[in-house]
Structure 1
Amino acid sequence: MLNALRKTNLTLVIFICSILIASRLCTGDSFVYDPSKTLRERFKKWLQTHSILYGGKEEWMLRFGIYQSNLQLIDYINSLHLPFKLTDNRFADMTNAEFKAHFLGLNTSSLMLDRDQRPVCDALGNVPASVDWRKEGAVTPIRNQGKCGGCWAFTAVAAIEGINKIKTGNLVSLSEQQLIDCDVGAFNKGCSGGLMTTAYEYLIANGGLVTEADYPYTAIQGSCDQEKSQNKVVTVQGYTKVEQNEASLQAATAQQPVSVGIDAGGFIFQLYSSGVFTGFCGNHLNHGVTVVGYGEEDGQKYWIVKNSWGTGWGEQGYVKMERGYSEETDSLYTTKSKHMEQNEASLQAATAQQPVSVGIDADGFIFQLYSSGVFTCFCGNHLNHGVTIVGYGEEDGQKYWIVKNSWGTG
């Protein structure tokens, strides 16, 4: 097979933006143990399904408590009849902090420094109403990065695999491990995070990628194996950045799979199962994924996103993420409230007329211990406390609501 492969020169398209991002629920890690035999049996079956073993009874009880806490979140979110569902996937015995520490790996400090003058791809002409590069045979099977923050390598490779198929007709699984072991420097740090653009720069400078078969994935960072990395089958000539709006991303995706950066750090994204993900947006880019298409379902537009957490997460390793919200906000960086009839503009108009009663999620330990300043934590959507908005303003460029609470003056 290798003898039949020809080295291919490619130009990549990359899109770095915070599209549709999971919320960060501002809740502490409070584990409520339920002696219910049914729940314990469910947990035991879950352990068997995912082939998980613990070091002893103490760890078993700790993980059972976390699992139960996550089940409460899953049941609550699923009861809201949203366009997506959660499930007790293989991350269900982890706190959100543990999950983020092990399974995210986009180097945001690199992103802030990566301000070169690459050509920018903007929206051009008409594009198809829907695209699915999986149906065109341009997407390799879902990979599993394991507890290695190498998502940056997986999305870089996925985009290259896609454009290679489109240009040559050959779908070849390429090596993420080559990037993790060999592309190590100021920005890319193997399993400790990296960035797609610097991966492309490395490939341009070092002759390209070898196959997955020649340099297989190990989920740990090792020394660069020069012998394994010799037989390069695909080279990269350059890459193009995409304007940060959905029209440009749609135009780019109509041409090829596209690398993107997202905020995947929320509980809801961690436990996502199916449907069109319409979670709250964040702007802490911490995970690299690949947009492999787009479409519409029951009037809801979505992106088809390939992840690298195995087929046990999401829809066999994919997530459909809401598309079209920036048509309303005119910016991919604008967060939009969900599950409320009124938007912030309407709330502002109402508050200009009188104090307004609102419900909030005040369950987090950060809110519990709040002292002063503009509270900017991303909060959940479990409305459990009533407060009153009595005004609004701006301080040092930070807009805020003035909220009256009922917990005394202390």
Structure 2
Amino acid sequence: MSSPLGLTLKTNQPTKTKQGEVDRPTRPSGLVAEKSAGLYAVRNLVSINNDLSVPIWIEENKRDILPDNFDARLKWFYCKSISRIWNQGACSSCWALSVANMISDRICIQSDGILEIDISVEQLLSCCTNCSILPGCYGGDPQAALWYFYNEGLVTGGPYDSNKGCQPYSLPPCKVTSEGTLPPCPEFGYDTPPCYYNCTNPSYQKLYSEDFYTADFPPYQVRADEEEIKNEIYKNGPTVAIFKPYIDFIYYKTGIYHSTNDTNPVMWHSVKLIGWGTENDVPYWLVVNSWGSEWGENGTFRILRGFNECSFENHIITIIPKINALL
């Protein structure tokens, strides 16, 4: 997949710190890389279509006084979707998973926990023709996915084998890297499921036409400013982050990730950003991945904050779902 125009990739130039010193922090000692891990996850691609880019929102109102550490799972403890760890299986569906899961979280947050639903990853993956040139399991554009939600709406659908919602995820979990107890992912991956205009879950009682969620206002991008990103999460809930990690990210186990690989980035990846913190004076973002709970820190990871590591802070996108008519 081609790189998005205008995205600043990591260089070897020093970065100016908040204290005015020009330096990058040394490698956090907590990062453990397992070099024997498999490389299936490299197939997890994201593309970005600049014709479908979302406008940048600049926060002009007074910001909240933000805590040093924040975890959306704790603030909105009644929204179980924030903590849920998905396994995308042998399908490059991170772009659809991150968007649908972020929307699910925000619906719950905006409704004060009344609406606890999962937006269908399956429908977004299968039906958004503008999200990818190829079928959805070959990768897609999270920005286009947000526009699809705004323009077309999405029905509900839980994880694989959950029997929840109108169109649950039909692709079985597998071992995305060589670690874990699940069966290994097939070498050539899964086929993209077909697009259906009806509920595929026979036990779901709601009509397909009555199950749609959407938004009143278009998606937006949060400016690449650490405080504005934190303020957005603190006020409105998780966001989607699109970044370009190096090969060592696949082998991540624990600690605060920043690349130790001098080669070029290997993939675009889309994830859900849920908080921030500091460990041993090293600032980090707290992020939910979609490679199952056996990867990383129980399915999550932490990445260096404030230095635009792997262009992480360049592409923070989100949307405010419409809920008033549903309550």
| 1:197 counterpart SS class | helix
Answering whether residue 223 of structure 2 is matched by residue 243 of structure 1, we say yes
Give deviations 1:320-356, integer Å, cap 9, x for gaps. Answer: 11112259xxx957xxxxxxxxxxxxxxxxxxxxxxx
2:288–2:299: 8 Å Cα contact kept in structure 1?
Answer: yes
Q: State yes or no: 1:105 paired with 2:45.
A: yes
The one-letter code of the counterpart of 1:94 is G
User: Which one of 220, 239, 244 corresponds to residue 263 of structure 1?
Assistant: 244
Alignment partner of 1:254 is 2:234: yes
C-alpha contact (below 8 Å) 1:87/1:272 kept by paired residues? yes
1:183-236 superposed Cα distances (whole Å, 9 cap, x missing partner)? 123636411111122112212222333232221112341221111154425322
The one-letter code matched in structure 2 to 1:198 is A
Match of 1:301 in 2: 283
The equivalences for 1:8-47 within 5 A come to none
Q: What TM-score results when the alignment is normalised by the length of structure 1?
A: 0.54
Q: Which has the higher helix share?
A: 1
Distance 1:283 1:251, change over 3 A: farther
Tell me the equivalent position of 2:195. 224
CA gap 1:17/1:161 in 2 versus in 1, 3 angstroms? farther
User: Does the 8 A contact of 1:154 with 1:176 survive in 2?
Assistant: yes
Aligned residue number for residue 321 of structure 2: none
Alignment of 1:115-126 (within 5 A): 115=53, 118-122=55-59, 125-126=63-64
- Specify the alignment match of 1:83 in structure 2: 30
1:141 to 64, 81, 84: 84
Conserved? CA contact 1:263–1:284, under 8 Å: yes
Task: Assess if the C-alpha contact under 8 Å between 2:56 and 2:223 holds in 1.
Answer: no
Of the three residues 275, 282, 303, the one matched with 1:321 is 303
- Which whole-Å CA distance do the structure 2 matches of 1:17 and 1:296 have between them? 30
In structure 2, distance between residues paired with 1:83 and 1:180: 35
- CA RMSD across the alignment: 3.2
Q: Which has a greater percent of strand?
A: 1
User: Contact 2:85/2:292 (CA < 8 Å) preserved in 1?
Assistant: yes
- Contact conserved, 1:276 with 1:320, CA < 8 A, in 2? yes
- Select which of 116, 140, 143 maps to 1:197: 143
Q: Distance in 1 between matches of 2:9 and 2:256?
A: 11
Partner Cα separation in structure 1 for residue 221 and residue 266 of structure 2: 19
Higher Cα Rg, which structure: 1
- The letter for the 2-side match of 1:232 is D
- SS at structure 1 position matched to 2:303: strand
Aligned equivalent of 1:7:
none
Question: Can you give the 5+ residue segments of structure 2 that lack an aligned partner in the other structure?
Answer: 13-26, 159-163, 172-190, 200-207, 315-327
1:276 aligns with 2:216: no
Shift of 1:93: 4.7
Unaligned runs of 5+ in 1: 1-15, 24-79, 334-410
Q: Partners in 1 of 2:244 and 2:308 — Cα distance?
A: 16
Matches within 5 A, 1:176-215: 176-185=121-130, 187=132, 189-212=135-158, 213=164, 214-215=166-167
Shift of 1:277: 1.1
Is the alpha carbon distance of 1:191 and 1:125 closer, same or farther for their aligned partners in structure 2, counting shifts above 3 Å? same
Equivalences, count: 248
Paired AA for residue 108 in structure 2: K
